[in-house]
């Protein structure tokens, strides 16, 4: 080994910069030269979206180390705007272009480290080079986007992976109108669908339009400037700024031309020390392949963490001829999306099953620290493990707090090959402000062990329950609040009464047990199995089943046919009337785009609780003229109609059917909006809802008719019959005369 090697490094960000500084610390005699074809080295590329959004206000903080610092502190020569063009392995030299001077020259090396990174995927479609179409890879990309932002009104982000979600969030935080487009049917595709669903709902709740299941075919442009994104179905998403977040491809051209070889994923082929086919040439970072922990094969993991860690080892090996072997990469990653965090370590269930692994999974929903300590936030954890051995394969987590440390613990178990039985015994830190005596990780491990040991076998939350005898252990109010999808035949037997009501169940039938989040279901499953039932526990219970199965559409059929996108999110077909249905989670997106939120309930109901930003116009006053007066100065001419549950809003839509206005009826009305977590404003002294007043009035009239018919004259039974017929008519037609009459009552004005 040459004790004073000349080490040439191509690429000056994560992997290259780590290699350079480690090489210097290990060998003071080495000559180290780092080339970077862009203008900046060692910058925090993961922080770029947060400077766009203004969270990181000081641009200089993104520049981790400047060329001057590398020279003064480490005696490393950094050459920016110098691009490596080719490698001559025989002469051990690299052809370099100096973009500043406009010249080319050759630079020799003893050891060469390739860390050129990756380039954003830019599909070859019409208009993709138009002004206003950007990717976000480096400081220059960020600067170009920032320069355009003052003139931007509508943004389309294409791709809902990590970068796409971060950019969409940050630009929405700046107050821009953002549409997020994802070709696959979910956001954050590395996660299993039910684990990404909370992110989807959070995006909609925050007012981002979301279009999933639709790729794009072109960028619409006018005079060379982008004006929209054309989807596969011909719909155009209006946008004057388009951000492409479709993933990356490795810069492997140097390696290919030099005969070093690339793998199936396009990364440069490497050995356990990250050496290429040429033992004097190394490769690290997004352009290189690593040992992938989940598969045992080599492939690419374009993440900064593994690039930094392996860069350090490569720098040591190049400078001294020895180092530890490069670690396996497990793909641990995490993201913040408004009020939620989500992440993954290792395998998802779908990726493990796709490879043919006999994988199983459990879901746990729990507080991130002791529930009795103030500030506890809910998180959902999914633990994936191998059937039989219990070897941990991966985990996913989503929640408002505490998911990072759970993923980090699982990543450690993956690194050391731990099992769910090991996880169940690990000694985790506990105090009420930080965790619980039984951490969610412990609970997941316990559930996995019970599944493996046959004590409480698990079925997945999206399982078909039609062939099962289903036992729902929730209380009646819980069942009313959250429906158990696909199990209308379920027996509702609260857990505390289960032991005394076993006679209502059939032991010969396979039995699926659910509660809200899983804890009671485990107790119930054990009780039933002890009494001879073939009972299984539905993983994650009703809450996760809802995430797995209730994913509303993003674009209504009518919206797709009109040539422009209104992401209405209707989970059902359009009504035969002229209005469209709007899912509650999309209300704020429409409001953010300028739509009028019009609440047609009585003033008293409106005061008692309304969606933030809504204005009140009682149903009897809804006319074309009155609504247009409220729309004065609003070019959108879109009206989002709300009442308590939807009936009066549909009547209002019919009244406006000839107005030429676009009307959207919110499904489930204000009640559903409140359940969906939308911001609700209230005034003191609000009255109870018209629906409740109708129930009170109808019940009073029926009771009065029965009493008078019994004790005064049988003819009074007709009053009860009349009210009953009226209620049937209201249910069938969605028109309630009693409700309209009560809305005009003095106390409701």
Q: Could you read off the pLDDT of 159-173 as tens digits, one per residue?
A: 999 999 999 999 999
pLDDT reading at 681 higher than 60: yes
Instruction: Write the DSSP symbol of residue 205.
Output: H
- Strand ranges for 600-661 from DSSP E: 610-611, 615-616, 638-642
Domain boundary among 229, 246, 263: 246
Q: Are residues 447 and 345 in the same domain?
A: yes
pLDDT band at 732 (very low <50, low <70, confident <90, very high): low
Residue 192 belongs to a domain with what CATH number?
A: 3.50.50.60
d(C-alpha 678, C-alpha 591), whole Å: 12
Distances (CA, A) of 485 to 169, 470, 515, 575: 31, 12, 13, 22
pLDDT for the residue numbered 733: 66
pLDDT reading at 566 higher than 60: no
Q: For residue 273, which of 211, 327, 231, 212 has the smallest C-alpha distance?
A: 327
Burial letters 86-110, b for 16+ CB under 10 A, else e: ebeeeebbbebbeeeeeeeeebebb
pLDDT band at 576 (very low <50, low <70, confident <90, very high): very low
Residue 587 belongs to a domain with what CATH number?
A: 3.40.250.10
pLDDT for the residue numbered 686: 53
* 46 has catalytic annotation: yes
Domain boundary among 213, 246, 279: 246
pLDDT reading at 44 higher than 80: yes
d(C-alpha 433, C-alpha 375), whole Å: 9
Instruction: Write the DSSP symbol of residue 456.
Output: S
What is the pTM (predicted TM-score) of this model?
A: 0.78
- Region of 605 (left: φ > 0; alpha: ψ -120 to 50; beta: rest) is alpha
Angle at 662 between CA 602 and CA 184, to 5 degrees: 110
pLDDT band at 572 (very low <50, low <70, confident <90, very high): very low
Split into its structural domains, the chain has a count of 6
Q: Are residues 717 and 625 in the same domain?
A: no
Query: Average of pLDDT values for 545-570?
Result: 49
d(C-alpha 236, C-alpha 221), whole Å: 11
Q: What is the mean pLDDT of the chain?
A: 90
Q: For residue 314, which of 545, 104, 113 has the smallest C-alpha distance?
A: 113
d(C-alpha 292, C-alpha 295), whole Å: 6
Query: Average of pLDDT values for 354-379?
Result: 95
Q: Are residues 634 and 705 in the same domain?
A: no
Q: Are residues 563 and 675 in the same domain?
A: yes
Query: Average of pLDDT values for 351-364?
Result: 96
Q: Are residues 137 and 199 in the same domain?
A: yes
Q: Are residues 562 and 677 in the same domain?
A: yes
In a domain, 698, yes or no: yes
Query: Tokens for 364?
Result: 């746990």
Q: How many CB atoms lie within 10 A of CB 261?
A: 15
Find the helix or strand (DSSP H, E) in which 248 lies: strand 248-250
Q: For residue 87, which of 309, 282, 355 has the smallest C-alpha distance?
A: 282
Q: What is the CA radius of gyration of the chain?
A: 31
In a domain, 124, yes or no: no
Residue 298: φ, ψ to 5°: -100, 140
pLDDT for the residue numbered 565: 39
pLDDT in tens, 700-713: 888 888 888 888 88
Q: For residue 248, which of 186, 188, 302, 181 has the smallest C-alpha distance?
A: 302
Instruction: Write the DSSP symbol of residue 294.
Output: T
Distances (CA, A) of 668 to 570, 665, 671, 673: 11, 9, 6, 7
In a domain, 329, yes or no: no
Of 105-114, 219-228, 406-415, 601-610, where does mean pLDDT reach its minimum?
A: 601-610
pLDDT for the residue numbered 579: 60
Sign of the CA dihedral with 335 first, then 193, 572, and 246 last:
positive
Query: Average of pLDDT values for 432-458?
Result: 96
In a domain, 325, yes or no: no
Three-class SS state of 185: coil
pLDDT band at 660 (very low <50, low <70, confident <90, very high): confident
Q: Are residues 199 and 347 in the same domain?
A: no
DSSP H helices, 453-489, are 476-481
pLDDT for the residue numbered 703: 85
In a domain, 1, yes or no: no
Query: Average of pLDDT values for 309-334?
Result: 96
Q: For residue 216, which of 198, 197, 196, 237 has the smallest C-alpha distance?
A: 237
Of 271-275, 319-323, 745-749, where does mean pLDDT reach its minimum?
A: 745-749
Of 48-62, 471-485, 577-591, where does mean pLDDT reach its minimum?
A: 577-591
In a domain, 486, yes or no: yes
Query: Tokens for 701?
Result: 């009239």
In a domain, 331, yes or no: no
Q: For residue 610, which of 599, 621, 625 has the smallest C-alpha distance?
A: 599
pLDDT band at 553 (very low <50, low <70, confident <90, very high): very low
Q: Are residues 670 and 567 in the same domain?
A: yes
pLDDT in tens, 170-199: 999 999 999 999 988 899 999 999 999 999
Which neighbouring-strand residues pair with 536? 512
In a domain, 333, yes or no: no
Q: Are residues 387 and 474 in the same domain?
A: no
Domain boundary among 211, 246, 281: 246
Which neighbouring-strand residues pair with 386? 359
Q: How many CB atoms lie within 10 A of CB 315?
A: 32
Contacting residues for 454 by C-beta, under 8 A, at least 6 apart: none
Q: Are residues 568 and 646 in the same domain?
A: yes
pLDDT band at 687 (very low <50, low <70, confident <90, very high): low
Of 243-257, 357-371, 455-469, 661-675, where does mean pLDDT reach its minimum?
A: 661-675
Query: Tokens for 696?
Result: 């009170």
d(C-alpha 581, C-alpha 649), whole Å: 10
Q: Are residues 588 and 661 in the same domain?
A: yes
d(C-alpha 581, C-alpha 556), whole Å: 8
pLDDT reading at 599 higher than 70: yes
Distances (CA, A) of 443 to 366, 436, 463, 491: 9, 10, 22, 27
Q: Are residues 406 and 366 in the same domain?
A: yes
Residue 714: φ, ψ to 5°: -60, -20
Domain that holds residue 86: 6-119+250-320
In contact, 114 and 11? CB cutoff 8 Å: yes
CA atoms within 13 A on the CB side of 546: 15
d(C-alpha 636, C-alpha 617), whole Å: 19
DSSP H helices, 206-301, are 253-257
d(C-alpha 357, C-alpha 506), whole Å: 35
Burial of residue 457 (number of CB atoms within 10 Å: 0-12, 13-18, 19+): middle
């Amino acid at each position: 080994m040459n004790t004073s090697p000349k080490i040439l490094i191509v690429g000056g960000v994560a992997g290259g910069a780590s290699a350079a500084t480690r090489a210097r610390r290990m060998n003071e005699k080495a000559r180290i030269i780092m080339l970077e074809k862009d203008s900046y080295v060692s910058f925090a590329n993961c922080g770029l979206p947060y400077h766009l959004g203004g969270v990181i206000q000081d641009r200089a903080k993104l520049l981790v180390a400047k060329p001057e610092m590398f020279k003064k502190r480490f005696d490393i020569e950094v050459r920016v705007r110098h691009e490596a063009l080719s490698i001559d392995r025989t002469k051990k030299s690299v052809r370099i272009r100096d973009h500043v001077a406009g010249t080319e020259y050759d630079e020799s090396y003893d050891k060469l480290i390739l860390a050129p990174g990756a380039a954003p995927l830019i599909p070859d479609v019409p208009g993709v080079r138009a002004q206003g179409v950007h990717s976000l890879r480096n400081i220059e990309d960020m600067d170009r986007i920032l320069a355009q932002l003052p003139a931007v009104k509508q943004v389309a982000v294409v791709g809902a992976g990590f970068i796409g979600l971060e950019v969409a969030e940050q630009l929405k935080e700046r107050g821009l109108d953002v549409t997020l487009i994802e070709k696959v049917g979910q956001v954050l595709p590395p996660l299993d669908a039910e684990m990404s669903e909370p992110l989807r709902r959070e995006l909609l709740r925050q007012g981002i339009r979301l279009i999933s299941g639709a790729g794009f075919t072109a960028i619409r442009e006018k005079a060379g400037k982008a004006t929209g994104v054309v989807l596969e179905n011909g719909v155009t998403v209006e946008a004057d700024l388009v951000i492409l977040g479709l993933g990356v491809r490795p810069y492997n051209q140097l390696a290919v031309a030099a005969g070093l070889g690339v793998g199936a994923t396009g990364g440069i082929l490497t050995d356990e020390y990250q050496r290429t086919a040429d033992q004097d040439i190394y490769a690290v970072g997004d352009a290189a392949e690593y040992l992938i922990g989940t598969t045992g094969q080599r492939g690419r993991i374009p993440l900064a963490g593994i690039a930094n860690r392996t860069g350090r080892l490569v720098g040591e090996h190049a400078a001294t001829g020895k180092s530890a072997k490069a670690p396996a990469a497990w793909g641990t990653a995490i993201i913040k999306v408004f009020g939620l965090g989500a992440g993954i370590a290792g395998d998802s269930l779908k990726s493990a099953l796709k490879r043919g692994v006999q994988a199983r999974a459990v879901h746990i929903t729990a507080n991130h620290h002791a529930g009795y300590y103030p500030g506890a936030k809910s998180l959902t954890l999914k633990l994936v493990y191998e059937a039989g051995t219990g070897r941990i394969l991966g985990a996913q987590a989503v929640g408002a707090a505490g998911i990072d440390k759970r993923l980090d613990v699982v990543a450690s178990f993956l690194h050391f090959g731990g099992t769910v039985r090991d996880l169940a015994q690990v000694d985790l830190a506990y105090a009420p402000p930080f965790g619980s005596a039984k951490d969610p990780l412990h609970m997941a491990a316990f559930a996995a062990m019970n599944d493996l040991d046959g004590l409480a076998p698990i079925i997945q939350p999206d399982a078909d329950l039609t062939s099962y005898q289903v036992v729902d252990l929730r209380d009646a109010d819980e069942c009313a609040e959250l429906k158990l999808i696909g199990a209308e035949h379920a027996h509702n037997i609260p857990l505390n009464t289960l032991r005394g009501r076993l006679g209502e169940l059939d032991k010969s039938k396979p039995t699926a047990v659910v509660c809200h989040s899983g804890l009671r279901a485990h107790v119930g499953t054990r009780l039933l199995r002890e009494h001879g039932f073939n009972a299984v526990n539905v993983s994650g219970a009703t809450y996760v089943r809802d995430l797995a199965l209730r994913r509303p559409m993003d674009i209504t059929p009518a919206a797709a046919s009109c040539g422009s996108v209104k992401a209405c999110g209707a989970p059902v077909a359009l009504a035969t009337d002229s209005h469209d249905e709007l899912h509650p989670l999309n209300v704020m997106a429409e409001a953010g785009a300028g739509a009028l939120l019009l609440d047609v309930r009585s003033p008293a109901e409106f005061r008692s609780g309304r969606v933030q930003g809504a204005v009140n116009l009682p149903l009897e006053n809804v006319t074309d003229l009155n609504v247009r007066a409220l729309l004065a100065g609003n070019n959108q001419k879109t009206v989002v109609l709300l009442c308590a549950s939807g009936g009066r809003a549909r009547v209002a839509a019919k009244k406006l059917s000839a107005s030429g206005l676009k009307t959207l009826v919110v499904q489930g009305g204000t009640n559903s909006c409140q359940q969906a977590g939308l911001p609700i404003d209230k005034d003191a002294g609000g009255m109870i809802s018209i629906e409740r007043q109708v129930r009170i009035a109808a019940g009073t009239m029926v009771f009065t008719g029965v009493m008078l018919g019994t004790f005064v004259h049988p003819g009074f039974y007709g009053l009860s019959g009349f009210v009953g017929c009226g209620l049937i008519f209201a249910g069938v037609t969605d028109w309630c005369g009693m409700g309209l009459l009560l809305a005009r009552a003095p106390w409701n004005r």
